[in-house]
Structure 1
């Protein structure tokens, strides 16, 4: 099973689009809202070196943003 984690904020449209994509394809994921939990922002910075949302972890790969990485993400998750 593929492990999908995403760091988000409530106002991020790209985050909403990614979560919608996951739900439409019934892909389970773990969400970390850095606005509600500032400690998640520290974890994100430690894991990725950046403080961008959405930051998407799929198994051992990291993606900054959904729209710009959609083709790669779809290939990983839908094939």
Structure 2
């Protein structure tokens, strides 16, 4: 399963999502928009938005972890 997440260091929802992934040993690619401003440009190009966390799982996009947790868990954990 290919997981990508756009984050900032002050985003609690981002931290919760990364903890969830780490707790379940799910590999992911993180794009920090704070450390790498070019990632903010990439995020806008891909979604038209500047929201974090923006989560991509196998091409599907989720804006936020808390609001999408049930669907994300079902997708990643079965």
TM range (shorter): over 0.9
Separation of aligned partners in 1, 2:34 and 2:59: 25
SS, match of residue 26 in structure 1: coil
1:47 maps to 46
1:21 paired to 2:48: no
SS, match of residue 7 in structure 1: strand
Q: How many pairs were matched up?
A: 78
Q: 1:19 offset after TM fit, Å?
A: 0.1
TM-score of the two chains, using structure 2 as the length reference: 0.99
1:65 maps to 64
TM-score of the two chains, using structure 1 as the length reference: 0.98
Separation of aligned partners in 2, 1:33 and 1:21: 17
Give unpaired runs (5+ residues) of structure 1.
none
SS, match of residue 18 in structure 2: helix
Q: 1:3 offset after TM fit, Å?
A: 0.4
Give unpaired runs (5+ residues) of structure 2.
none
SS, match of residue 32 in structure 1: strand
Q: 1:60 offset after TM fit, Å?
A: 1.4
